[in-house]
């Protein structure tokens, strides 16, 4: 586990341990991953299991945990810098891993600064699933359905479950232009997020094994 301190926030880049995911035999042989191309992404196939059916170490998802900052939303300079750092972190993930996701831990009610929210929305539209965690277990519902709500799950549980879902379902289908998604692209993303959300909504806090 490596910790990145960039001044404005602390980012944790974590690889999902094989022991924290379901048995390889229960996983698909391949799923849809992502490849970074400039400022956009494109879908690629990722082999999950090798010829003998074992989980490939190269397929292990990378999860970035982004924590909110105590700064006031009225500070546009720091808010804009936060947006840049979110996107920089996502780009760093995708340069090294085809399967990647983000867990964002907001304030008590799960909220983040407006510019960070905008960057997280763009992250989702690029095909990277974003899970929102609120310390009080009540993350705000996203009217566009481009985020996954962790409910009462802890940060560690959300991280583990996101890695599991990435191996089961793959990344979200990326938009050709994340700044201008089409109706069909948004609908495809929402359909995939619904699959993730079903798993998260069914998970009971404390029921996931090997959380770390």
pLDDT of residue 212: 35
Range among 11-20, 21-30, 130-139, 181-190 with highest mean pLDDT value: 181-190
Class of domain 2-202: alpha beta
Q: Which pair of structure tokens corresponds to residue 212? A: 């770390």
The closest alpha carbon to 11, from 77, 87, 79, belongs to 87
Q: Per mean pLDDT, which range of 13-17, 66-70, 104-108 is the poorest?
A: 13-17
The closest alpha carbon to 150, from 199, 80, 90, belongs to 199
Higher pLDDT: 100 or 37? It is 100
pLDDT of residue 11: 40
pLDDT of residue 17: 40
Integer angstrom CA distances of residue 186 from 110, 130, 162, 176 = 23, 15, 20, 11
What is the per-residue DSSP string for 43-87?
Answer: EEEEE-B-TTSPBPGGG--EEEEEE-----TT-HHHHHHHHHHHH
Average pLDDT over residues 89-115: 84
Report the mean per-residue pLDDT for the chain. Answer: 81
Number of helices (H), then strands (E), belonging to the chain: the values are 4, 8
Q: Which pair of structure tokens corresponds to residue 129? A: 């699933």
pLDDT in tens, 69-80: 554 445 444 545
Listed in sequence order, the residues at least 6 apart from 74 whose beta carbon sits closer than 8 Å to its beta carbon are none
pLDDT in tens, 105-125: 877 666 677 778 889 999 999
**What distance in Å separates the CA atoms of residue 161 and residue 106, rounded to the nearest whole number?**
18
Average pLDDT over residues 36-61: 92
| Enclosing H/E stretch for 201 | helix 183-202
Q: Which pair of structure tokens corresponds to residue 139? A: 């993350």
pLDDT of residue 5: 31
Q: Which pair of structure tokens corresponds to residue 119? A: 């960057």
Average pLDDT over residues 146-160: 92
Q: Which residue has the tokens 């500070």?
A: 75
With H, G, I as helix, E, B as strand and everything else as coil, classify residue 33: strand
Residue 46's pLDDT band (boundaries 50, 70, 90)?
very high
Does position 42 have pLDDT exceeding 70, yes or no?
yes
């Amino acid at each position: 586990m490596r910790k990145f301190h960039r001044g404005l926030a602390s980012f944790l880049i974590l690889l999902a341990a094989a022991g924290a995911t379901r048995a390889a035999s229960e996983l698909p042989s391949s799923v849809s991953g992502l490849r970074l191309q400039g400022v956009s992404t494109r879908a690629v196939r990722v082999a999950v299991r090798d010829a003998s059916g074992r989980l490939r170490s190269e397929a292990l998802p990378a999860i970035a945990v982004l924590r909110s900052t105590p700064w006031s939303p009225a500070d546009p300079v720091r808010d804009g810098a936060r947006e840049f750092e979110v996107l920089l972190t996502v780009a760093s993930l995708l340069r090294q891993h085809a399967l990647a996701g983000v867990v964002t831990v907001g304030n008590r009610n799960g909220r983040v600064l407006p510019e960070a929210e905008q960057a997280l929305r763009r992250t989702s539209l690029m095909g990277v699933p974003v899970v929102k965690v609120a310390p009080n277990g009540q993350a705000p519902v996203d009217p566009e359905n481009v985020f996954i709500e962790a409910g009462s799950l802890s940060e560690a549980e959300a991280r583990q479950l996101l890695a599991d879902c990435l191996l089961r379902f793959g990344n979200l289908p990326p938009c050709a232009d994340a700044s201008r998604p089409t109706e069909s692209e948004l609908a495809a993303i929402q359909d995939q997020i619904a699959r993730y959300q079903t798993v998260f909504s069914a998970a009971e806090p404390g029921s996931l094994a090997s959380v770390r």
